[in-house]
Amino acid sequence: MKKGFTLIELLIVIAVLGILAVAVLSAINPIEQINRSRDTGSRSDAEQLLGGVDRYYASAGYYPWQSSGSSTNASLTPLTEITTKTQTFGTDGVAMLTELSSGGSAELKDSFVTRITSTGYNNLYIYNRGTPGDSTYVCFNPKSSAFMKEATERCAGTNGTIPTDLGNATVCDVTIGGKVVNMSCLP
């Protein structure tokens, strides 16, 4: 007599393995994981852009969207979407990303600028109210439920608050592409 598995036993094992695979995939939720990694990348890019703006301000004495230290308007309002390297910002009409990259101070690498302005990238938005002592903010539209929840809780005041120099109206219930969202902002 040969020992082995019957067809029924093999089918039962395959069915159990299939059920376990479906359970693991639903627990992992690959789409959410992809969106979370993209949001983490957007947050990292926002930090890098903020660092470049801060370094530029520390060395030049004015913001990269201002034409000179004698410019009186440091405001960068409303919340402005960053779309191209040559896009002008503020009332002085300076191409901020050109000024921050190899076309100016070289605070940012050209490859970074190319990435954040490429088609399909989750665009960054920049804001500065322009009052002395105000912070510069870089925001993005979160795609993962974890980052959306964090932004919604911040807007609701249940997990931190929106700084007064940014304001709820600037980043809460913003319409982007016909959809109302709460922005995730740094710092």
pLDDT (tens digit, 0 to 9) for every residue of the chain, 187 residues total?
Answer: 678 888 899 999 999 999 998 888 777 788 888 999 999 999 999 999 999 999 999 999 999 999 988 888 889 888 899 999 999 998 899 999 999 999 889 999 999 999 999 998 999 999 999 888 899 999 999 999 999 999 999 999 888 889 999 988 889 999 988 999 999 999 8
pTM (two decimals): 0.83
Q: Which H helix or E strand runs over 138?
A: strand 137-140
Give the torsion sign (CA, 82, 87, 93, 97): positive
